[in-house]
Amino acid sequence: MTTKEATVSLRVFSAVLTCAEVSKFLGLQPTHCHEKGDYINKKSTAIRNESLWIFSPELSGSLEHQLEALADVLLKHKDGILAVASKATLEFYCGISTENGQGNTFLSKSLMRKLLEIEVDLLIEYYLS
């Protein structure tokens, strides 16, 4: 697999918390945020039924390297993550762009331990570019 780009973020979906409330719990400012009741996009009349809070720091390198760096940041905010988790769905989002749509992803045992400690689900999506 020839990976062209990998991105990682923490995504928080909540029907009851606003973006400001998520930020307060986590002690982090979002990279992107959409409130419940906002339009999905400018061309749609569909309304969001939950808020979406995204923390996507500027990282580079392999997917594993980026996830490790994000996990290191989030471990410092674990109590806030656990508090938000009772009122929201949290996930690590990983987007991987490949030239041929095939390949694999390696995550070390030490990284998986960190991710388990944070107690957030992991979503990995591959995109053909």
Range of the domain at 72: 3-102+111-128
Tell me how far apart the alpha carbons of residues 1 and 13 are, in angstroms, rounded to a whole number.
Answer: 31
- pTM score, two decimals? 0.88
Give the pLDDT of the chain (129 residues) as one tens digit per residue.
445 688 999 999 999 999 999 999 999 999 999 999 999 888 888 999 999 999 999 888 888 999 999 999 999 999 999 999 999 999 999 998 887 767 678 899 999 999 999 999 999 988 877
* Integer Cα distance of 105 and 8 in angstroms: 13
Structural domain total, the chain: 1
**C-alpha angle 93/94/99, rounded to 5°?**
150
